[in-house]
Amino acid sequence: MELTGLTIHELQGLLRRREVTAKQVLMAFLKRIAQVEGKIQAYMAVTGLEALRMASRLDRRRHAGEDAGPLAGIPLAIKDVICTQDVPTTCSSRILDGFIPPYDATVMRRLNQAGMVLLGKTNMDEFAMGSSTENSGYKVTRNPWDLDRVPGGSSGGSAAAVAADLCTAALGSDTGGSIRQPAAFCGIVGVKPTYGRVSRYGLVAFASSLDQIGPMTKDVRDAAILLGVIAGHDTCDSTSVNVPVPDYVAQLGREVTGLRIGIPKEYFIEGMDPEVETAIRAAINVLESLGAKAESISLPHTEYAVATYYLVATAEASSNLARYDAVKYGFRAREAKDLLSMYMKSRQNGFGAEVKRRIMLGTYALSAGYYDAYYLKALKVRTLIRKDFEDTFKRCEVILTPTAPTPAFRLGEKTADPLTMYLSDIFTISANLAGIPGVCLPCGFTRAGLPIGLQLLGKPFDEATLLQVAFAYEQATEWHRRKPPL
């Protein structure tokens, strides 16, 4: 088995028993990147030299008998929306070209303490706004299973890197499905934690009441390992919640017998790909055969989620992105003669089309005369969507749905019409509005060989049960072992 194809827990074993060194692992990845990255374009930047220094340092520490941490020598890729000290962080936006953060995000501090090796920063939709990674201001990332298709988005670079064995695991961020949908399109595992579970300190803000950082991995055990490292209270993020972080790995093996799984009828809609529906129905049967009880439920406000999201998220984004003023950091248009035209020109030339659209929509929804009709209305519908979940979780522990209505679509297929692109997030958006956790994992392939993703949604701060159900399903199936033909 190639080192690059292994999971975190498999590599941990080899490294701990000193059957391989961190440097050997890293060299295998750098070789793989040299061979495959040209086809995939998952990375914004590969930080090979610094990674080499890190790996050598870890090898010396381990050689000296020190405990170098639970992730010692594990090469990870980080979405380029997460600040990495002294390593450029662009959010795949031209407006942040050359920006070098003077500090590490809290998740980076935690990963560094755990001994990980930073392999590089991954491509994404600009400022995490998009569902295909085609909105990157720099490059187009391709789906490892079919190079003519999108990897999903906005964490498409991270998803493609994990699926193509260009890293062992990755971090993404999820505001409306940006971890789960690309995980589904690329056939990997993705976790969107409960809002407040993982610190957002150092995560470049898109929509502050929705954003969460989460793991993207080759299997469920890896997701449990990585979530355990990054989760927890942080005084640098006033929205991070002080609740205990359980030992996710220790709880994976629990039986699912008697567990109640809700199947929302609103998630099996007109226009859904029949192969996706078949795969999801088969997955429900697998979990029932393991002793779980599936029951039909209703989330009646599901059809309003996309409209609600595109007001709440854009309103918050228009405010958050006001910071790109070409003064403290980032791109400045040179031709401006006065302050106002410096703002206008720098933002005109620095932002891409989708980001401009969302700033405009959000500014409009918050502007005098429209606030009540749009923004306040959306906040009220958000209450209804949240209540749907609260009511449902009195009757079941977990909700099971498809992650996306279709498998990965073709490059360019949805770029002409923004609304069509927005509707591809229809099954993932509600979880962000309600703040609840979600896990996506592979549950089959289409006849054309494209991965299909299953989504599990859970009660706030109950990631452990989601991972437990995901693990039980994974143990009973083989989908996660398939590799793309590269």
* DSSP one-letter code for 322: G
- The three-point CA angle 62-64-69 to 5° equals 30
Please, which residue, 141 or 346, has the CB nearer to other proteins? 346
Residue 260: exposure state from Cβ atoms within 10 A (0-12, 13-18, ≥19): middle
Please, which residue, 356 or 482, has the CB nearer to other proteins? 356
For 36, the 3-state DSSP assignment is: helix
Task: Check residue 485 for interaction with other proteins (CB under 8 A).
Answer: no
Minimum CB–partner distance for residue 365 and other proteins (Å): 9
Site string for other proteins, 404-443 (x = CB under 8 A): --------------xx--x----------xxx--------
Rounded Cα gap, residues 177 and 154, in angstroms: 8
Among 157, 172, 193, 196, binds other proteins (CB under 8 A): 196
Among 16, 57, 254, 377, binds other proteins (CB under 8 A): 377
Judge whether 276 and 408 are in contact, CB under 8 Å. no
Minimum CB–partner distance for residue 436 and other proteins (Å): 8
Rounded Cα gap, residues 176 and 153, in angstroms: 10
Number of residues that this document lists for the chain: 486
List of residues 6+ apart from 334 with CB closer than 8 A: none
Task: Check residue 207 for interaction with other proteins (CB under 8 A).
Answer: no
Please, which residue, 278 or 367, has the CB nearer to other proteins? 367
Please, which residue, 310 or 473, has the CB nearer to other proteins? 310
Task: Check residue 351 for interaction with other proteins (CB under 8 A).
Answer: yes
CB atoms within 10 A of CB 143: 31
Q: What pairing do the DSSP bridges indicate for beta strands 293-297 and 260-264?
A: parallel
Of 92, 132, 154, 240, which residue is the catalytic one? 154
Minimum CB–partner distance for residue 360 and other proteins (Å): 6
DSSP per-residue letters across 359-411: HHHHHHHHSTTTIIIIIIHHHHHHHHHHHHHHHHTTT-SEEEEESSSSSPPBT
In the annotation, is 178 catalytic? Answer: yes
Please, which residue, 94 or 221, has the CB nearer to other proteins? 94
Minimum CB–partner distance for residue 244 and other proteins (Å): 16
Rounded Cα gap, residues 464 and 245, in angstroms: 9
Of 136, 155, 178, 430, which residue is the catalytic one? 178
In the annotation, is 79 catalytic? Answer: yes
Rounded Cα gap, residues 377 and 379, in angstroms: 5
Among 163, 186, 361, 429, binds other proteins (CB under 8 A): 361
For 478, the 3-state DSSP assignment is: coil
Task: Check residue 263 for interaction with other proteins (CB under 8 A).
Answer: no
Rounded Cα gap, residues 218 and 228, in angstroms: 16
> Site for other proteins (CB under 8 A): how many residues?
70
Of 69-77, 175-183, 352-360, 396-404: span binding other proteins (CB under 8 A): 352-360
Q: Which residues bind other proteins (CB under 8 A)?
A: 98-100, 102-103, 195-196, 209, 235, 238-239, 241, 301, 303-304, 306-308, 310-311, 318, 322, 325-332, 336-345, 347-349, 351, 356-357, 359-361, 363-364, 367, 374, 376-384, 386, 418-419, 422, 433-435, 460
Catalytic positions: 79, 154, 178
